């Protein structure tokens, strides 16, 4: 056969070879291209490992959706997904997670299999595509209330948070502002104005302990508080740490400096058996040329009466103990609730204490839009003289935006970041 007659046969042969190889690739079972889990009861799952912590494994499956498994329920695991583990010595190892007969190990890309004890690891998390980039996330929410006509009022409430997540640490910042006024122009009267902001840094020490430092600033003229600055730190323990919930208990010490505005209303102290009354200028009703309360002698409308024991000085500087707890719980893929409560008793007088309580419900409407409801309660057992009462409660709701870079989700201490909650088999 001549060479030119053989050429079509060669082309035909190559075409058939390519077709056979393509068909073979297409016909490869999905299991061969995905992660595979065998449970201790004999059941198996095929999918993609979506998240891993020292307590749980999360697998995205085609039919069952997202499934959360305890490591104790996993007998075999083969995966091509990379995780990052921090060993007790501080060494960081990256590779595919492997489980054989219930024993966990990591298979680095260019090394031998490294058996690991989940109980002694300092951290275990997924390796993301943006490994070298900071993982930031945050939200900014605002609510407005404006009326015009027979009444002229306006209220604005704004709160925001920003968090930087690391394998074994977290840096968080928050801020909140509330302003309300009645009337306009020269007749405007400020009925509420409060601002608070702060920073906190947490770092895991050894499972399940962590240390933290923080700083806060606060201003609440209606409570006659011009400025409060607080700095402190301490240690805590991760009591509950799962894929959907984290509960922490913590304690420590802080130093607080409160600067108060002078008041002009009735006050009673324990140093005198009779009440002392200081008469100020006549009170001008709101909207009729009054001046902002907390900045003048005008007594604002308060929802209570001052306590019998008040602070008659304009400066409060105390060392404080602190004890509290915080909770972060994912109710569903789009609904999250956070809560914190802290008590700050003065070291030299345990009756001179203050409380801080915050709870927030966030509903993610889409990839960037959020609806938020926040309640903040601040209690000062011995308020300044001048008519201030002990308790202030703020409730705000509004829409906001969310933003972030890197992996999102709540900080879970040594276990890294938390995926959305899932159903368990």
Verdict on whether the full-model pTM lies above 0.85:
no
The answer to whether residue 26 scores a pLDDT higher than 80 is no
What does the pLDDT average to over 299-306? 61
DSSP category for residue 325: E
- In 185-244, at which residue ranges do the beta strands (DSSP E only) sit? 189-206, 209-220, 225-241
If we measure between CA atoms, which residue out of 329, 347, 342, 339 comes closest to residue 409?
A: 329
Q: Is-contact 222 293, C-beta < 8 A? A: yes
The three-state secondary structure class of 8 is helix
pLDDT-derived band at 284, boundaries 50, 70, 90: very low
Question: Any residues with CB less than 8 A from the CB of 297 and at least 6 apart, and which?
Answer: 263, 264, 280, 281
Percentage of residues in the chain with pLDDT exceeding 70? 75
Q: What is the pLDDT of residue 89?
A: 81
pLDDT-derived band at 351, boundaries 50, 70, 90: very high
The three-state secondary structure class of 12 is helix
Q: What is the pLDDT of residue 263?
A: 62
Q: What is the pLDDT of residue 423?
A: 41
CA distance linking residue 67 with residue 60, whole number of Å: 6
Angle at alpha carbon of residue 333, lines to 80 and 238, rounded to 5°: 80
206 compared with 290, residue with greater pLDDT: 206
CA distance linking residue 374 with residue 362, whole number of Å: 9
pLDDT-derived band at 370, boundaries 50, 70, 90: very high
pLDDT-derived band at 371, boundaries 50, 70, 90: very high
* Identity of the highest mean pLDDT range in 92-96, 239-243, 375-379: 375-379
Q: What is the pLDDT of residue 347?
A: 96
CA distance linking residue 244 with residue 98, whole number of Å: 24
pLDDT digits (tens, 9 = 90+) for 77-116: 988 888 888 888 878 888 888 888 888 888 887 767 888 8
Question: Any residues with CB less than 8 A from the CB of 222 and at least 6 apart, and which?
Answer: 192, 193, 194, 293, 294, 300, 302, 388, 392
Q: Report the C-alpha dihedral over residues 365, 368, 372, 378, rounded to 10 degrees.
A: 160
pLDDT digits (tens, 9 = 90+) for 29-73: 444 447 899 999 988 889 888 888 888 888 888 877 788 899 989
> Could you confirm whether domain 135-415 is CATH 2.40.230?
yes
Q: What is the pLDDT of residue 275?
A: 38
Q: What is the pLDDT of residue 128?
A: 62
Instruction: Kindly list the domain boundaries of the chain, sorted by start residue.
Output: 30-126, 135-415
Question: Any residues with CB less than 8 A from the CB of 143 and at least 6 apart, and which?
Answer: 156, 157, 158, 396, 397, 398, 399
323 compared with 104, residue with greater pLDDT: 323
The answer to whether residue 243 scores a pLDDT higher than 70 is no
Percent helix, strand and coil across the chain, each rounded to 5? 10, 55, 35
CA distance linking residue 391 with residue 382, whole number of Å: 10
Least confident of 156-165, 269-278, 358-367: 269-278
Q: What is the pLDDT of residue 50?
A: 83
Q: What is the pLDDT of residue 10?
A: 47
222 CB-contact burial (10 Å; exposed 0-12 / middle 13-18 / buried 19+): buried
């Amino acid at each position: 056969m001549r060479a030119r007659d053989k050429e079509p046969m060669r082309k035909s042969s190559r075409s058939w070879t390519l077709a056979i190889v393509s068909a073979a690739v297409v016909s490869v079972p999905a299991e061969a291209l995905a992660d595979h889990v065998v449970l201790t009861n004999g059941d198996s799952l095929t999918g993609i490992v979506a998240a891993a912590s020292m307590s749980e494994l999360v697998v995205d499956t085609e039919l069952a959706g997202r499934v959360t498994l305890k490591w104790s329920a996993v007998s075999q695991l083969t995966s091509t997904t990379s995780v990052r583990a921090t060993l007790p010595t501080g060494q960081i190892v990256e590779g595919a997670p492997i489980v054989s007969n219930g024993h966990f190990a990591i298979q680095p890309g260019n090394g031998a299999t490294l058996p690991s004890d989940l109980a002694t690891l300092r951290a275990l998390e997924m390796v993301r595509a943006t490994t070298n980039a900071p993982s930031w996330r945050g939200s900014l929410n605002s609510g407005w209330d404006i009326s015009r006509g027979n009444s002229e009022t306006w209220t604005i409430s704004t709160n925001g948070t920003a968090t930087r997540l690391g394998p074994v640490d977290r840096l968080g910042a928050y801020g909140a502002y509330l302003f309300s006024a009645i009337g306009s122009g020269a007749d405007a009267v400020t009925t509420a104005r409060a601002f608070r902001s702060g920073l906190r840094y947490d770092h895991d020490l050894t499972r399940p302990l962590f240390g933290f430092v923080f700083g806060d600033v606060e201003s609440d003229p209606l409570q006659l508080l011009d400025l409060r600055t607080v700095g402190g730190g301490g240690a805590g323990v991760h009591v509950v740490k799962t894929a959907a919930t984290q509960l922490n208990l913590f304690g420590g010490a802080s130093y607080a400096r409160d600067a108060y505005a002078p008041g002009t209303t009735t006050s009673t102290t324990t140093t005198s058996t009779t009440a002392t009354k200081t008469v100020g200028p006549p009170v001008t009703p709101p909207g009729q040329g009054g001046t902002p309360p907390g900045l003048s002698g005008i007594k604002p409308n308060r929802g209570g009466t001052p306590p019998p024991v008040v602070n008659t000085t304009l400066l409060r500087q105390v060392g404080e103990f602190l004890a509290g707890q915080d909770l972060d719980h994912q109710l569903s893929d789009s609904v999250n609730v956070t809560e914190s409560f802290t008590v700050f008793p003065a070291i030299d007088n345990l009756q001179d204490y203050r409380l801080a309580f915050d709870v927030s419900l966030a509903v993610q409407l889409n990839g960037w839009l959020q609806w938020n409801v926040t309640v903040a309660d601040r209690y000062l057992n011995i308020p300044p003289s001048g008519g201030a009462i002990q308790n202030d409660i703020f409730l705000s709701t509004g829409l906001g935006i969310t933003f972030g870079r890197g992996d999102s989700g709540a900080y879970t201490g040594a276990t890294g970041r938390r995926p959305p909650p899932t159903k368990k088999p």
